[in-house]
Every structure is written in structure tokens, then in C-alpha cells.
Amino acid sequence: MALNGTSHLLIRANPRYSAAYMPEYPDIVVYLEALEKRIMGRTLERVSIASPFLLRTAVPPISAVAARRVSDLRRLGKRICIGLEEDLWLVLHLMIAGRLHWKDRPAPARSSRAKLSQRDLAAFQFDNGTLSLTEAGTKRRASLHVVAGEAGLGNLDPGGLEIFAPSKEGLDCTDLKTFAAALQSENHTLKRALTDPRLFSGIGNAYSDEIFFAAQLSPIKLTQKLTDQEIERLYLATRATLTSWVERLRTESGDRFPEKVTAFRAGMAVHGRYRQPCPRCGAKIQRIRYATNETNYCPACQTGGKLLADRALSRILREDWPRTAEELG
Ligand SMILES: [Zn+2]
């Protein structure tokens, strides 16, 4: 099904289309937990950068982070922030194809650079192992910023609402009223609103599909047309979906460093399950394809049996749909 000429061409030109996936909240949380076990309190000895496109800042210089200890780890939207002594931060955005890898083995002591393998964009050598960054494909979108202090981090924060915030008891969930206010601050399709990093933090294409399914809502429904009950359903579904996927991914990676960061997970209800039976009602899962995104939904559970494929949908996709990797950032 070609929705218009552009999307048709893009899809045909890119056979790896379905593999495009930007790591989202559950993936980033699990990456951070794996990093905490390995590099918290450790010394970053050196950094090697292979691609001139990766490093997006000049001040502070990348050399300033060497020989400093890791004192903090944080998520900022879909970015991973490694805090070092003197309040310096390495901020990584994996975008679509960037992935992290960890090797326990320390590099030879006499080497003056962190060892880069051919596929590495960057290698961060710690006193107990090496964290490397790779990016599949030819597009260089992954980014590294070196920033100083809260002000530097603040400049990179898209500002979306955190669904969960750290508290004394662990994690506190944002309340329904705050969630509703963010959701309805602009009138957009649900798909666009929930994946807009200025409105919500860390939610992208895959987990938004799962959330809409859990809430039994259409991804094209407009946020300002939602009833109070629908907003509450969406709120509860967002909390439950993110919480349960963090737990699943945590269990799956166990003590290993998370290497299988992908959009398609066994156990997902709709995302990546086009034409497969809905786990709730058995109807065939449908899809909306646009540019580099695929949205999946169950027509029986979410859209009153309607297939979202008419002319009105083309207009919505043009005007009110997340379309580029940068917009999903
Ligand atoms: Zn269904």
C-alpha cells in the first residue's frame, strides 16, 4: 500500500526500512543500568573518535574528559549522559542506527589511544574496559556532545514531560493532570503528540504503538478530542507499558551488556506484527507506512474496525505525523 509517491519510493529504496529503530525509554534505561554496573566510579582514560561528524561541540574540548572518574549517569530524553568529575558530561544520542558495546578486557597499557575497530565511530577506554559506539549504514546521525554542568545539559533537553521521576522511594510517576496538560497543550494526532520529544520524554515509534494498543486508542485520534476517560486510559497504558518493558528488557539482558537493541521484540502486541493476529481479538494487525516509520495497530481494538488508508489519512500524514529521525529525537 503506497500512501503517496514519496513514501512509496522511500520504502522501495530502503530494503532495511523495517530495521530502522531509534532506542527509546526502556532501551535507554537498560543501557544506563548496564553502564552503571560497569563504569560508575571508574576512570575514563582516553577517548578515540573515528568520525569527524560525531562530535558536535568544540568547547569544552574532548581532551578535557580524559583521566576523569565517572560520577553520574543520566538519561535526557533519548540521550545517554555520562557525568564525569568537574561536572563535565559526555552526551550520546544514538539516533536510529547507533549502538553501544562493552568489552571487559582492558587495552594494552602502552597504547596511547583507545583501540578503534573498523566499525567503531568512537571508543571510550575506561580502566576496566572499553565502551564503543557503532552506527550501521552510511548516514552519520549519532552524536556526541561534551558539555559542562546542568546548564550544558539543559541546552540539550528537548523539554518533554518525564513519565517517571526519581524520588526517595525509587520512581514516582507523573500525575494524570500533568500528563493530560502536556498531551493537550497542542492539538495533534496521538502518534505525533506522544512521540514529540518536546511534549514527552523518551517515547518513540515502537513503544507508542504498544501504548495505543494497550489504551485501545487510534494513533490518528486528535489529542484535543479525547474524552477524560480516554486520557486516563492512555495515561495508565503509558505507565504500564513502559514499566513492563523496562522489566522485560532488564530480565532479558541480565548481567550481559544489552547488545540486541531492536524495534521488534517477542511479546510486543502490535509493533512489527503486520498481518499477524491481534493477541486480544485475533484480527489482523494493520500498518501505516510513512517515510521511515511504520505504525501498527489493531483495527478491531483501536479504530472501530476502520482501516486507516483513505485520502484523509494522506493529509494527516503530511501535516501531523512524526516523519524524520530528527523529529523523533
Ligand atoms: Zn484486536
Which has more confidence, 188 or 118? 188
- Give the span between the Cα atoms of 91 and 120, in whole angstroms: 17
- Separation of alpha carbons 159 and 199, rounded Å: 7
CA 305 to ligand 1 centroid distance, Å: 9
Q: Give Cα separations from 21 to 201, 238, 239, 261, 286 (angstroms).
A: 16, 19, 21, 9, 19
Write down the pLDDT at residue 193: 96
CA distance 123 to 28: 19
pLDDT at position 276, please?
96
- Which three three-digit cell numbers place residue 65? 574528559
Start-end of H helices in 205-309 = 205-215, 228-253, 299-302
Mean pLDDT for the stretch of residues 96-105: 91
Distance 230 CA to ligand 1 centre (A): 17
- Bridge partners for 287 per DSSP: 296
Q: Which of 86-100, 154-168, 268-282 has the lowest mean pLDDT?
A: 154-168
pTM attached to this predicted model: 0.88
Q: How far is the C-alpha of 79 from the C-alpha of 155, rounded, in Å? A: 13
Strand segments (E) across 120-159: 120-126, 129-135, 143-148
pLDDT for 9: 34
- pLDDT of 110 strictly over 70: no
219 Cα: distance to centroid of ligand 1 (angstroms): 14
The amino acid that residue 45 corresponds to is E
Ligand 1 centre and the CA of 118: distance in Å?
45
User: For 231-288, what is each residue's pLDDT tens digit?
Assistant: 999 999 999 999 999 999 999 999 999 988 887 888 999 999 999 999 999 999 999 9
79-93 b/e (C-beta count within 10 Å ≥ 16 → b):
bbbbbbeeebbbbbb
Residue 167 pLDDT > 80:
no
Distance in Å, CA 294 to ligand 1 centroid? 18
Report, as an integer, the average pLDDT of 208-224: 97
Neighbours of ion ligand 1 (CB under 5 A): 278, 280-281, 283, 298, 300-301
Tell the burial category of 254 from Cβ atoms under 10 Å away from its Cβ (0-12, 13-18, 19+): exposed
Question: 231 C-alpha to center of ligand 1: Å?
Answer: 20
The closest of 241, 250, 207, 243 to 32, measured between CA atoms, is 250
| Dist. CA 174 → ligand 1 center (Å) | 29
Tell how far the Cα of 216 is from the centroid of ligand 1, in angstroms. 9
Of 264, 266, 310, whose CA–CA distance to 288 is shortest? 310
| Ligand 1 centroid – CA 278 distance (Å) | 5
Q: How far is the CA of 138 from the centre of ligand 1 (A)?
A: 38
User: From ligand 1's centre to the CA of 215, what distance in Å?
Assistant: 12
pLDDT at residue 319 is higher than 90: no
With a pLDDT cut of 70, the percent of the chain lying above it is: 88
CB 204 within 8 A of CB 22: yes
